[in-house]
Structure 1
């Protein structure tokens, strides 16, 4: 389907690429998120991105970061996104703004406010009036900020992204939904291009094929795959058919891969999270990267060119070199078209299965030749052997007319250059390489030695000066004269990232324990445990208390609990439950008679992705204790299942579940069992490997996964059917029926993140203590920790066992970590808390330490402070 050209004041997207003020551009864009950095570091990070040679940042705007509770908005302090956009403009950066309403980003709920799930008729990310009414309230606040700062109004915003990877989500009316979002953007005066990114290549699934919404692509390939180019070129061709360029709005961070994308036709290349950050407070999500669930860490870092604390990694210099190549080739590159090499290229190292090339504007080709191996090698390009460094992707020029670059005449042709062109003037060309460079010019072939840092190699061919710089020098290249003299920035001009913190870890100077614990807010009595969100807690925790007569009860069944449950029965604290809503069996054979039950439930974060395998990983799922059931009876249901679908006669056979033998391997087979439940019951399917379908009476079938092989059956259920692909060996399935009775009459008390932060900031009496501090499981301690002076801030690492820790400084919640036996974490460093420089100077550090049951005693042994860049 052809898309119309999108034309705005100063901006145009067409099949040729991105045009800004009438000039074609290739745009390098780095993710940089204001909500994951202290405000006082915004300017330095933006300037750091600009110094990398990247010209753009992409910025999510998280809805639930600005709407703290229904109708309570904040755009001040760290939430002053307008100030961030203005700083980006001052730094000379373009901005791609991504206001959602859904952003993913491993952020709490993907930025969808938690209270949306309280309305049973509201369906998130759908063309549905209740959801769209909520989105309108958000867009009414945020889109005017963007409209005032868009490029057509003299600001930095060059594109606005609607939604995020909608092709991953089962949206029933994509066209209607995206049309509604588009219309709101237009209503608020957005005139820059509106884009929508596809997470898995389904362009229509991401955009709804809505006119005026430009499709973009997110690619996350294996960096070592030889097949990247062929896939990317396919999408470049598909987008050409729509009349728009290939915009890669997210991809890997490695510049070897980014070069391959550039050569495959991308006009925008935006590696995700080049500049890393932090998940402060209770903002991380519950993710889907584990088996299947895990927790996102306080650190948010996927190895981009700038670390979470601002340290520049080797990829930073590689970014500078790639930016120099883009600048040097200018419109020749920006107006190039995707192709394949016109000359033969072979290599003695692992490389692409289908090399990409760009047909340059004004003639010639740029060919990307990736060395996917770890050893140096040689390629042969049009019969000429050239050196290629390991783990590199030189952008080689072939048959390029030099035009104004040639001192001896405009008809000179650069037949081959085996290294990156990083600067060109009339009379001189500069290349970057750490291996010898081969140049064929005017019939003359030369090989220029690999230069040492600070010592460029020079030679003259056909009146043209050829300069080869080490990559470290190329990244500092400011200008080059016509005689080949290069001007580099002084390495001492780089910002000093070493502050007053000693390079070695130090122990905290003093630790004091507060005698009081944070107060609880009473939240009433309830027949069954309510969700925390229904009690007004969207981030934070709550305590549930009840008493149950466990006489004759051997086990309990906890269903729907999320995220972290510290359960105590008759005074005995159990190991934490973090099952993302999956049913959990709890042995209580050691408890008799009336027993007190207490559960502290902490929200780690709402799901940022829609994962159907576990209840709490569904987008919009709520948090809390779920339902606690007493198991009154357990019956084996493995036998007497009627086989339907593969038999020759009547009546249908009766076998054990999964026990029918047939040659029709993999063909769905249905087992049905009659039963009569008098109470709510739970069907437990032991041995589930592959997903199977379960139908209760005449209801809709549901999918059961190995991660949660349970189905709740209402009282009076008559029949259950299980459909699964046939396996001759039966698959080892067993079935149990658990008759259930709920634990009722709960009292609740809650602690929101605001309540905990307010308590952490309050000054009060505290007693000096010496570590180690030993706690009982379920016991908590509030500690105030003195911090020495620092210009860098601190990474705080806690040595100990079986403790869960939350930290605060300068009136802000830093984040949380878990020491000892714990669930899976991902996203960054899970073992440190970061106290930013400005925050460490304003106050000390407050820690909430909670002992959790596990293989060791809960204990905090030391609090170590490390320089983040030392």
Structure 2
């Protein structure tokens, strides 16, 4: 018999219908010494499943160099999950997203211009095969048929967010690899924006899951869930939500609408150790770039140090409900029943659903989506009752539930609370209810007699009722949920400040530059870390192309630090320029608005131009109306007398305005690089050169390389095909940068390993105290003496101004903080570094490598904070 069955009624695991309450738990973000602690906490909370990403670039540390030992021993991690009987949903990618560096695609894979990532491309699939050859045998040996607990495997991740040309062929190729490697459990692809075709290509033998995020209090969310549940029922499949909010209010609403896999993402926080965080597109409309911090947690119910949060106790209650009703709930159908009427004095669902339990009876979920407690009036199947509902709660009220589901006789007609546990004790059926009402009750019918159990009269006819409010529930045993050793949320306490420090010399002085081509860092062997370019500029200035993630330019003294996300930057003036670049992380999401937000984009700089002439071009363009679509070749009829205007001029009543501005430019000799910039543009503009289409202008990166069109020419006609919403919308200010491509430079690679060696080998001799002012554009070793404190895990809270600081304990690179006034959006707490006790054992000091990003840079304060577990 197939141990895992997915069909319209739900999920069957080894013959038992099961709702999967599944928490993300990532071994690569938690120290090995703490793996079991997190697993046990989830198990004791009542969760029965974890989803696990397996990051390719975490295990293939360099091309062909594989590491599955020590902290990276995925097999041992899966053994621990099996030991504690936690089901596993394995997610080996190859792309995982997860706000992880490059979505786990190795940086060196990006250096082959002919390789097409996330496509049915032979070169890419050959690279993926190498990864699968290493990870899939581990997963196969831990499948449930082999004595492990892996029950499902996801291939790829949210492919519908990526413009894959042939998702069916690509997913089928991954599926073939998985089956060839001995994976027998069901395979599925997840839809990040509900585009099933884009996510799975409707490939045979690939099931479907969905990732749903958004406002947990949206009154129409339930309608979305219910729609997909019913559509999948028609395909004989259950609704699997492999990722969603950690908030148990939303999880309850999903359960009510028919979801069979509840997968709150990142329910257990962690740490992006080293430089494994990513960049992505969670910023503003004006600057969509964002940096994922070392501290990686969000609203998880367990924090990065293992601390318990409020959501942990919410999780216990949901788990208690699921385990109490067991298979009857796992096999339940979500029904939009017109006979069910619910009236609330608080914001709630637009549509209500009841779960029709297998074996009889129903559960009615009433969510309070408001900011105040309130009451709801429920009418259904002979029940007319009022219930009290706390804000941000959603209890499931039992209606006409047979007590035979719990080994008793009779019917639980209704209760104004949620049933969390049942036990047979000395022939008496004990029912435990969570109720926030001041007068909780359960109405039962046994042998034709209807009666109520209350706090004053808790037992009758062989049934006993226990009523408790949310806080009291923490100390009660729930179905398959242990009483937590810690009944309150973890407190984080201060353990003192680091004040005594030692500092070293500016490490950027006298760097050992070697000649190298001007290329992105990955092409120069730096996959994570930093690199410094030394460029000779003899003309009017330097135009840097593709700069990311953090770029500091020094010429004589400090000039500027910027985070361009791949956009070009102009620096006037000649002389030697030193360009220090730092990889924050490769993008974990594909977004074409900025070059470095694409998955296959490199870091550092992609090119540099020694500019000899800058032509300002705003004035004196010929104007013509243009109708129709824009062709590859543009021909504008010539007139006896042309209309000459500024590129931003023309007053008309036409809406929208479609026009062509034309101008002939004279090009300087001996130049091979021509970059057109259009500053401050709001209109949509497509550039043509001598009638040949070049490129659409991106307002967030308004530099367009026209070198291929202009090289070898003395003059050329530029055409700007413009679409304006109204005549007053600016085209912008065009400028043409003419110069020579800088082919070679001095270069110093500083990958993670080299930076660790620098920290270990550099001397910090000068005694001092915090705060510490830093020389602009410098890189300084700062050594903090460990204060006397308990030998346990702790957080460092690091404050400063205009600094980038990487943090080591011993030879372990823990992560980095960025306190910079011009920073892109930081996703997560940018001040916190987790210091696991197992990583800090024997360390006598904490070492910071601090780069000053501005003229007013300062390391202000470092505090130690200890979770009281």
Does the alignment pair 1:534 with 2:532?
no
Deviation at 1:335, TM superposition (A): 0.4
How far the C-alpha of 1:845 sits from its partner, in A, is 3.8
Aligned to 1:547: 536
Q: Partner of 1:356 in structure 2?
A: 353
Matched, 1:296 2:276: no
Change in Cα spacing, 1:19 to 1:510, as seen in structure 2 (3 Å) is same
Distance 1:700 1:82 in 2: 54
Q: 1:669 to 1:195 in 2, by over 3 A?
A: farther
Asked if 1 retains the 8 angstrom alpha-carbon contact of 2:453 and 2:464, the reply is: no
Aligned to 2:713: none
Structure 2 counterpart SS, 1:774: strand
Question: Is 1:637 aligned to residue 618 of structure 2?
Answer: yes
Residues in 2 aligned to 1:495 and 1:646: alpha-carbon distance in whole angstroms: 68
* Structure 1 residue 438: Cα displacement: 4.9
User: Is 2:330 the partner of 1:334?
Assistant: yes
Shift in alpha-carbon separation, 1:150–1:827, aligned structure 2, 3 A: farther
3-state secondary structure, aligned to 1:575: strand
- Of 412, 420, 426, the residue aligned with 2:418 is 420
- Contact kept, 8 Å, 2:779 with 2:852, in 1: the verdict is no
The residue number in structure 2 matching 1:48 is 41
Change in Cα spacing, 1:269 to 1:841, as seen in structure 2 (3 Å) is same
* Whole-angstrom distance in 2 between the partners of 1:497 and 1:351: 31
1:192 to 185, 190, 198: 185
* Selected match of 2:599 from 606, 619, 629: 619
RMSD: 2.9
Q: Residue 180 of structure 1 aligns to a residue in which SS?
A: helix
1-side partners of 2:568 and 2:46: how far apart? 51
**Equivalent residue for 1:574, pick from 536, 559, 571:** 559
> Equivalent of 2:545, from 555, 559, 584?
559
Instruction: State whether residues 545 and 596 of structure 1, in contact with CA within 8 Å, keep that contact through their aligned partners in structure 2.
Output: yes
Residue 31 (1) aligns with residue 24 (2): yes
2:633 aligned residue:
none
**In 1: Cα distance, 2:845 partner to 2:822 partner:** 24
> Which residue number in structure 1 is paired with residue 396 of structure 2?
395
Q: Is 1:63 aligned with 2:32? A: no
Contact 1:790/1:840 (8 A) holds in 2: no
Match of 1:429 in 2: 431
Q: How does 1:258-273 map to 2 (within 5 A)?
A: 258-273=251-266
Q: Does the aligned pair in 2 maintain the 1:309–1:869 contact within 8 Å?
A: no
How far apart are the structure 2 equivalents of 1:137 and 1:868?
Answer: 41
**What is aligned with 2:631?**
none
Whole-angstrom distance in 2 between the partners of 1:117 and 1:213: 27
Residues of 2 paired with 1:668 and 1:164: CA distance? 41
Cα 1:163–1:715, aligned 2, differ >3 Å: closer, same or farther? closer
Q: Give, in whole Å, the separation in 1 of the partners of 2:598 and 2:142.
A: 35
Q: How has the CA–CA distance of structure 1 residues 801 and 392 changed in structure 2, closer, same or farther, with 3 Å as cutoff?
A: same
* TM-superposed deviation, 1:737: 2.4
| CA shift digits 1:408-460 (9 cap, x unpaired) | xx4x33332232111124633221123343544338575857xxxxxxx7623
Q: Please say if residues 301 and 827 of structure 1, whose CA atoms lie closer than 8 Å, have aligned partners that are also in contact.
A: no
Matched, 1:315 2:315: no
Larger mean Cα displacement after TM superposition, 665-674 or 594-603:
665-674
- Other-structure match for 2:831: 831
Q: How do 1:465-480 residues align onto structure 2 when only pairs under 5 Å count? A: 465-478=464-477
Q: Which moved more, 1:428-437 or 1:349-358?
A: 428-437
- 8 Å CA contact 2:305, 2:793 repeated in 1: no
Distance 1:750 1:492, change over 3 A: closer
Q: Which residue of 2 aligns with 1:484?
A: none
1:405 is displaced (CA, Å) by: 4.3
Residues 518 and 759 of structure 1 are in contact (CA less than 8 Å); yes or no, is this contact kept in structure 2?
A: no
Residue equivalent to 2:320: 324
- Give the deviation of 1:767 after TM superposition: 4.5
SS at 1:369 equivalent: strand
- Alignment CA distance shift 1:771-1:384 (3 Å): closer
| Cα distance between partner residues in 1 of 2:108 and 2:458 | 68
Q: Does 2:566 align with 1:602?
A: no
Classify the secondary structure of the residue corresponding to 1:229.
helix
Segment drifting more, 798-807 vs 39-48:
798-807
Give the Cα separation in 1 of the matches to 2:140 and 2:708: 56
CA distance in 2, matches of 1:279, 1:228: 32
- The DSSP-based 3-state class of the residue aligned with 1:562 is coil
Contact 2:772 2:859 in 1 (8 A): yes
SS at match of 1:503: strand
TM-fit CA distance, 1:563 = 1.2
SS in 1 for 2:307: coil
Farther off after superposition, 179-188 or 150-159: 150-159
Match of 2:812 in 1: 812
Q: What residue in structure 2 maps to residue 92 of structure 1?
A: 85
Residue 370 (structure 1) aligned with residue 367 (structure 2): yes
Looking at structure 2, the residues matched to 393 and 804 of structure 1 have their Cα atoms a distance apart, in angstroms, of 44
Q: How does 1:65-84 map to 2 (within 5 A)?
A: 65-84=58-77
| 1:683-702 equivalence runs, <5 A | 683-689=676-682, 692-696=685-689, 702=695
Measure the CA separation in 1 of the matches of 2:241 and 2:481. 31
Say whether 1:134 aligns with 2:121: no
- Give secondary structure in 1 for the equivalent of 2:367: coil
Residues in 1 aligned to 2:31 and 2:783: alpha-carbon distance in whole angstroms: 22
Task: Report if the CA contact (8 A) 2:567-2:700 is conserved.
Answer: yes
Instruction: Give, in whole Å, the separation in 1 of the partners of 2:457 and 2:812.
Output: 55
SS at match of 1:100: coil
Residues in 1 aligned to 2:332 and 2:38: alpha-carbon distance in whole angstroms: 32
By how many angstroms is 1:562 displaced?
1.1
Alignment-derived partner of residue 167 in structure 1: 160
In terms of mean alpha carbon deviation, does 8-17 or 220-229 score higher? 8-17
What is the TM-score when the length of structure 2 is the normalising length? 0.90
8 Å contact kept, 1:405–1:428:
no
SS class of match (1:504): strand
- Alpha carbons 2:59, 2:67 under 8 Å: kept: yes
- 1:779 is displaced (CA, Å) by 1.9
Aligned to 2:632: none
Q: Distance in 1 between matches of 2:325 and 2:841?
A: 47
Paired residues of 1:36 and 1:278 also in contact (CA < 8 A): yes
Q: CA deviation at 1:388?
A: 1.2
1:60–1:100 CA contact under 8 A, matched in 2 = yes
Greater Cα shift, 34-43 or 837-846 = 837-846
Taking the aligned partners of 2:142 and 2:587, their CA distance within structure 1 comes to 31
Which residue does the alignment assign to 1:441? 444
Q: Is the 8 A contact 1:284 1:604 kept in 2?
A: yes
User: Shift of residue 508 of structure 1?
Assistant: 2.6
The alpha carbon displacement at 1:153 in A equals 0.8
- Whether the 8 Å contact between 1:521 and 1:750 is mirrored in structure 2 is no
The residue correspondences of 1:396-795 to structure 2 (distance < 5 A) are 396-403=397-404, 405=406, 410=409, 412-425=410-423, 427-436=429-438, 437-442=440-445, 444=450, 448=454, 459-460=458-459, 464-478=463-477, 492=485, 503-508=493-498, 510-514=500-504, 517=507, 524-526=514-516, 529-550=518-539, 553=540, 555-569=541-555, 571-588=556-573, 595-629=575-609, 630=611, 632-637=613-618, 639-646=620-627, 656-657=646-647, 659=649, 665-666=655-656, 671=661, 673=663, 675=665, 677=667, 679=671, 680-689=673-682, 692-696=685-689, 702-714=695-707, 716-717=709-710, 718-742=716-740, 744=742, 745-762=744-761, 766-787=765-786, 788-795=788-795
SS in 1 for 2:560: coil
Moved over 6 A (4+): 493-498, 518-521, 647-650
Structure 2 CA distance for partners of 1:225 and 1:120, relative to 1, 3 Å: same
> How many pairs does the alignment contain?
833
Match of 1:865 in 2: 864
Distance (Å, rounded) in 2 between the aligned partners of 1:739 and 1:755:
37
Q: What's the counterpart of residue 235 of structure 1?
A: 228
Deviation at 1:333, TM superposition (A): 0.5
Structure 2 Cα separation of the partners of residues 477 and 778 of structure 1: 58
Instruction: Give the whole-Å Cα distance in 1 for the aligned partners of 2:219 and 2:345.
Output: 14
The one-character-per-residue Cα deviations of 1:17-44 (angstroms, maximum 9, x if unpaired) are 1111101000100001111111111110
Tell me, yes or no, if the aligned pair for 2:508 and 2:778 is still in contact at 8 Å: no
Q: Is the 8 A contact 2:799 2:831 kept in 1?
A: no
Structure 1 residues 697 and 46, CA gap change in structure 2 (3 angstroms): farther
